Amino acid sequence: MIGLLQEGYCSAEMLDLAVKTSLMPRGLLLGVVQRMDFNGLDMVAGGLRNKSFEPFGAPPEDNIIETMAEKGELGVKSGVGFRDYSEEGAAAALRKRDRDLLRSVKLARSFMEDPIGKER
């Protein structure tokens, strides 16, 4: 993110707004690991195999996500990933995620209407 600021692609205010209205409401609910469960570990593994985009270098061939996907542990859609969703089921997990995401977006919107640092 520092590169975006340093290279002048956006202002600090623009970057904060983008994170607050996109990444943070989702991060609040799922974090980065559980979000992979909801995306599907097979999809995440496929993205990691994409050689056209390696910002941090290629992952090891035996990475945990690839191993889990090969075992059929795909996250919400298979009932198990980094977390176990078998008891509540995929449909219920998705409904709860969607309901809570909507609540968090509404809350984020209220913060954006009266942000810290706004001149009064």
Domain that holds residue 86: 21-113
Residue 13 lies in a domain: no
**pLDDT computed for residue 31 by the predictor:** 83
Residue 54: its pLDDT value, please? 59
Q: At what angle do helices 90-113 and 24-39 cross, to 10 degrees?
A: 160
For residue 7, what are the CA distances in angstroms to 15, 16, 80? 13, 16, 41
pLDDT for residue 83: 95
Give the model's pLDDT for residue 120: 45
Run means of pLDDT, 10 residues per run, the chain, 120 residues: 86 85 76 91 88 62 88 96 94 93 83 66
What's the CATH code of the domain at 109?
A: 1.10.1040
| pLDDT for position 29 | 81
Phi, psi of 119 (to 5 degrees): -70, 140
Residue 42 lies in a domain: yes
pLDDT of residue 38: 94
pLDDT number for residue 53? 62
How many domains is the chain partitioned into structurally?
1
Q: What pLDDT, on the 0 to 100 scale, is given for residue 113?
A: 77
By three-state DSSP, how is residue 11 classified?
A: coil
- Cα three-residue angle 34-1-25, rounded to 5 degrees: 40
